[in-house]
Amino acid sequence: MLSHEDNELLCRVGPGTTMGEMMRRFWMPAVVIHELEPDGKPVRIRLLGEDLVCFMDTEGKVGLLDEHCPHRGSSLALGANEECGLRCLFHGWKFDVNGQCLDTPAEPENSNLAKHMKVKSYPTRVAGGMVWTYMGPAEEEPEFPHFPWFDMPEGSCEAFRVIYECNYSQALEGAVDSSHAGILHRSVPWTSEARWPHEKDLRPKLEVEFTKYGMRYCAVRTADDGSKHARMTQVPMPFYTLIPPDGPKAPEFRRNRRLINAFVPRDDYSTWHIQFFYDPGQTIDRQHRIEESGVVWDDNFFKINGADVWYNQDREKMKSADGIFSGITGVALEDHAVSETMGKIADRTKEHLGRSDMAVVAFRRMMLKAAKRFAENGEIPEADQAQFDWNEITAETFFFEPEKKWQDLQPLPEHLEPSDKAA
Ligand code: FES
Ligand SMILES: [Fe+2]
């Protein structure tokens, strides 16, 4: 449970809000690179409550500009993209990827207006199949981080984005909640015999550790042979979850597949659910991943099988022996359904939390603490993600003997311990 004030602090992300300004200090993924081509169609994107337009110019440079033309406000997403700039449809003002105005064709020939005119623009980088941006103050721009999925061979990392129609924190909390895995994602109806270890042991032991980059948590279950089965998830600030691969006992093609979630706030009420799937040992089949997720989206990245059609929940399937508990097809769609139906911003003053919610509680504590510290002294040490070697911050699935602790196998390196252990 949270107080109304803390819930507001956690959830509000528009310009000028504490959490929104804190998030603006991190580089964040925005547009999938396949969506752009030189002189191609501009892409509209809302980020942290701001409407922006992304385009690739003739030379392949990527710009991210305020969507509204500084002349009289028409959408630059309607504009013509040619000869290294985006030209507004209304009176032809043209802007380059840095937002500099290059031409105002309806003004007198000797006009200086273009030279002095800029549209707001944000810096961009391309990595891991996405365009990334930094929306904070220019003088605070951190070095661009280097994540392991940036180094995959061609085809071994694929990025996706779709809209979650609820606040980012709610979407993220679903990913730090291992206890729902054997229930919501149960592969058989409730009354049929469970198949997988996580469906058999519904009471994983959860443990959280705060770290320098955010937190990590481990769900430990007892396997059939009495050994312990651990899934350790990393939760870097401010909106990532690094999900462990299926691990040593899974079929070979699933053993090392990794998933990174970024829950990037679109505005207070919706979130970009960005996923990077990667595996250095194999090609990621884009179509297969989309089918597996169960989420189907339109050209604007809104789900067409969302709440409007009640997630196409099939009640027959919930009862028939070859069905599934949720009646909803696809793991990601199941996750979207339970988080979105809490409301766009869940009223956390009304919850009743249990032991199984401890990682959710820890996540909120981490975010609120960071936001309060930021509001007090403007400091966010985690925002400098380039300081970390992300190859040592990985999510893992592993087995261990019952007399050991999971930390014996995955000790937190000393230099990644939080500077303020009182977290
Ligand atoms: S509104 Fe864009 S040029 Fe006039
Ligand atoms: Fe889930």
Give the ligand whose atoms come closest to the C-alpha of residue 334.
2
* Probe residue for ligand 1, chosen from 53, 65, 66, 71 as the CB with the greatest number of ligand atoms within 8 Å: 71
For residue 360, the CA-to-ligand 2 centroid distance in Å is 13
Say if ligand 1 is within 6 A of residue 356 CB: no
Ligand 1, atom 1, lies closest to the CA of 72
How many angstroms from the chain centroid is the CA of residue 385?
16
Say if ligand 1 is within 6 A of residue 372 CB: no
- Ligand 1 atom nearest the C-alpha of 106 is 3
Measured CA to CA, the distance from residue 42 to residue 357 in angstroms comes to 42
Say if ligand 1 is within 6 A of residue 89 CB: no
The predicted model scores a pTM of 0.97
The pLDDT tens digits along the chain (423 residues) read: 999 999 999 999 999 999 999 999 999 999 999 999 999 999 999 999 999 999 999 999 999 999 999 999 999 999 999 999 999 999 999 999 999 999 999 999 999 999 999 999 999 999 999 999 999 999 999 999 999 999 999 999 999 999 999 999 999 999 999 999 999 999 999 999 998 878 888 999 999 999 999 999 999 998 888 899 999 999 999 999 999 998 888 888 888 889 999 999 999 999 999 999 999 999 999 999 999 999 999 999 999 999 999 999 999 999 998 999 999 999 999 999 999 999 999 999 999 999 999 999 999 999 999 999 999 999 998 999 999 999 999 999 999 999 999 999 999 999 999 987 554
SS3 call for 365 = helix
Measure the CA angle with vertex 309, ends 304 and 310; round to 5°: 115
Say if ligand 1 is within 6 A of residue 74 CB: yes
Say if ligand 1 is within 6 A of residue 93 CB: yes
* Residues 304, 297 contacting (CB under 8 angstroms): yes
Say if ligand 1 is within 6 A of residue 192 CB: no
Nearest to 300 by CA among 43, 93, 53: 43
- Ligand 1 atom nearest the C-alpha of 88 is 2
Ligand 1, atom 4, lies closest to the CA of 91
Structure tokens at 284: 């990621």
As residues whose CB is below 5 A from the ion ligand 2, the structure lists 335
For residue 183, the CA-to-ligand 2 centroid distance in Å is 9
For residue 94, the CA-to-ligand 1 centroid distance in Å is 9
- Measured between alpha carbons, how far is residue 67 from residues 17, 89, 344 in Å? 21, 13, 25
- Ligand 1 atom nearest the C-alpha of 92 is 3
* Residues 24, 136 contacting (CB under 8 angstroms): yes
* Probe residue for ligand 1, chosen from 90, 94, 107 as the CB with the greatest number of ligand atoms within 8 Å: 90
For residue 44, the CA-to-ligand 2 centroid distance in Å is 29
**Strands of the 101-103 sheet, one edge to the other:** 80-81, 86-87, 94-95, 101-103
Measured CA to CA, the distance from residue 59 to residue 96 in angstroms comes to 11
Say if ligand 1 is within 6 A of residue 69 CB: yes
Say if ligand 1 is within 6 A of residue 269 CB: no
Say if ligand 1 is within 6 A of residue 276 CB: no
Residues 94/96/101/106 CA torsion (nearest 10 deg): -10
Say if ligand 1 is within 6 A of residue 88 CB: yes
